[in-house]
Copies of this chain bind each other. A is one copy, B any other.
Amino acid sequence: MEYEHTCMIRGDGGRALRAILDQICNKWTLLVVATLDQGILRFTDLHHQIPGISQRMLTLTLRNLERDGLITRTVHAEVPPRVEYALTPTGESLIPPALALAGWAIANAPGIEASREAYAEYRQNG
């Protein structure tokens, strides 16, 4: 039992954590951050590398990350325009904990899926 440590989560009723989680755990943020871990990328690069994301959601996600200081946005005065995105040190520091969670998710995905099927079965037949 590691109850002493979970005060980090429960501390202020979870407000500090959830303020960040709200930002991190939307549909695209972690995917954008992970993609930018390969280095400087342009808008179109990201759009191509992240399957399914719309221009609108990519723009919104990038703007929020920039606002929070996790990425930089550099506009080059050229024609055609070139805009480059890169992780800041803060943004890079998010990668290890994100990987920890991703590792857990992937390791437990089969078990969770099995549990869901068993649960659905149980709800149907009793």
- Residues of chain A whose beta carbon lies under 8 Å from any beta carbon of chain B: 1-3, 5-6, 8-11, 13-14, 16-21, 24-25, 27, 30-31, 34-35, 37-39, 49-52, 66-70, 90, 93-106, 108-109, 111-112, 114-116, 119
Contacts and interface: CB of A to CB of B under 8 A. Distances in A.
Contact of A109 (B14, B16, B27, B94): B16
Given A10-B34, A66-B119, A90 B109 contact: no
A75 to B, nearest CB: 14
B108 A8 contact: no
B109 A2 contact: no
Interface residue SS majority, chain A: helix
Given A51-B13, A115-B69, A2 B95 contact: yes
A72 to B, nearest CB: 11
Contacts of A97: 97, 100-101, 103-104
Contacts of A93: 104, 108
A46 B96 CA distance: 31
